[in-house]
Amino acid sequence: MAESSVLRWRGFSRRIEQQAGRRLAIALLFSAVVVLLNLCLGKVAVSPWNVMRILFGEGSASLSFIVEQLRLPRLLLGALIGGALAVSGLILQAVVRNPLASPDLLGLTSGASAAAVLYLSSFATLWGMGGLSMAAMLGAGAAALAVYGLAWKQGTSPLRLVLIGVGVSAMLAAATTFMLVFSPLSTTLSAYVWLTGSVYGAGWPAVRALATLLACLVPVLMLLSRHVVVQQLDEGLARGVGVRVQWLRAALLAVSVALAGAAIAWGGAMAFVGLIAPHIARQLIPVGFAAQAWMAALVGANLVMLADLAGRTLFLPLDLPAGIFVAVFGTPYFLYLLIRQRQ
């Protein structure tokens, strides 16, 4: 049933589950199809053949502008955001040992939202829209620090983190609503687009910035990943086999916060990706954190890419925020999870 191959060379050894490898390969193929669809479809349809030619530096100038300057950066940004949110959620769910945890739970999303709305209503006219990402990231980090600090009592426990996270989130959500009510209509509108989550008008600079950030986090996560399953044992057992639980938990939370914070900063509050993608990943790959993380990244990326594709094409000429369709795809699945959880 669970066939695995063993890789051993001098001081290096790994066990690789074959099923996980096969499924990752299939997910990668699926992603390639989604990418191609995204590049082809839109207000102007481009044939797959032309897309390939454009990617290899040929094809007409107008089409290659659409594909390379409009669709490709938007697609990549969406994929990076989805992947980061998904992996962030996977880490959180493992650390707090609660399958219903998500970046929302530790106040990340609500912290970023509150900071973003504050920025839009008070500072955007002064400093322009460029600072929005930074503000959102700071908000996410501050909220996570607040939750972690308040939950600290000679170490943290998952339960305290969750309870305090819910409380802080509720408070921040109230603050966000309060600010929205008292700001001018134009601010409220742009705030709502941000709160729904959108990759509209994404350009290469945003892709480069987010990709650089994520490229720093991935190696850290690869170093930590072997500790994740052990950390899921009872605290006593985990420490008994030699895990420094508190230290590890803090490091994992930090990576999770950084991933989600970065994603939210550039994509807005795309709820659900961080909650749902990890579940799909765990269903496809039951055990093994490293493989699950890669799968979650692919699932999250595809979820956002498909949502954005739907938002761009289903209601032409309207271009709806991807966050709406993440919710449209996500809500039924979430309900299904809840119902299954009860049984």
Partner 1 sequence: MTSIESHNLTLAYQRQTIIESLDLQVPRGKVSVLIGSNGCGKSTLLKSFARLLKPQAGTVILNGADIQRKPTAAVARELAILPQMPVPPEGISVRQLVALGRYPYQSWMQQWSADDETAVARALNRTSLDDLADRPVDALSGGQRQRAWIAMTLAQETELVLLDEPTTFLDLAHQIEVLDLLRELNREEGKTIIMVLHDLNLACRYADHMIAVHQRTAYAQGTPADILTEALVKTVFDLDCRIIPDPFFHTPLCIPFGRDIPR
Cβ of residue 284: shortest distance to partner 1, in angstroms?
12
Q: Which is nearer to partner 1, 101 or 114 (CB)?
A: 101
Distance of alpha carbon 170 from alpha carbon 164, whole angstroms:
10
Cβ of residue 98: shortest distance to partner 1, in angstroms?
10
Spatial CA neighbour of 120 closest among 168, 57, 186: 186
The continuous run of DSSP H or E covering 7 comes out as strand 4-9
Q: Which is nearer to partner 1, 167 or 240 (CB)?
A: 240
Let me know if 80 is exposed, middle or buried by CB neighbors in 10 A (0-12, 13-18, 19+).
buried
Q: Which is nearer to partner 1, 55 or 220 (CB)?
A: 220
Q: Which is nearer to partner 1, 12 or 56 (CB)?
A: 12
Q: Which is nearer to partner 1, 243 or 310 (CB)?
A: 243
Peptide bond into 317 cis (omega under 30): yes
Q: Which residues bind partner 1 (CB under 8 A)?
A: 1-2, 6-8, 11-15, 99, 223, 226, 229-230, 232-234, 236-237, 239-244, 282, 286-287
Cβ of residue 13: shortest distance to partner 1, in angstroms?
5
Spatial CA neighbour of 312 closest among 170, 198, 187, 144: 198
Q: Where are the alpha helices (DSSP H) in the chain?
A: 18-40, 48-55, 61-65, 72-95, 108-118, 124-127, 132-151, 158-181, 185-196, 204-231, 235-240, 245-267, 273-284, 289-313, 322-342
Q: What is the dihedral of CA 332, 337, 341, 342, to 10 degrees?
A: 10
Cβ of residue 177: shortest distance to partner 1, in angstroms?
36
* C-beta atoms surrounding 274 within 10 Å: 33
Cβ of residue 254: shortest distance to partner 1, in angstroms?
19
Cβ of residue 151: shortest distance to partner 1, in angstroms?
18
Measure the CA angle with vertex 263, ends 323 and 315; round to 5°: 20
Give the number of residues written for the chain.
Answer: 343
Cβ of residue 326: shortest distance to partner 1, in angstroms?
25
Cβ of residue 14: shortest distance to partner 1, in angstroms?
5
* C-beta atoms surrounding 231 within 10 Å: 19
Q: Which is nearer to partner 1, 4 or 212 (CB)?
A: 4
Q: Which is nearer to partner 1, 13 or 62 (CB)?
A: 13
Contact call for residues 143 and 107 (beta carbons, < 8 A) = yes
Q: Which is nearer to partner 1, 70 or 243 (CB)?
A: 243
* C-beta atoms surrounding 8 within 10 Å: 9
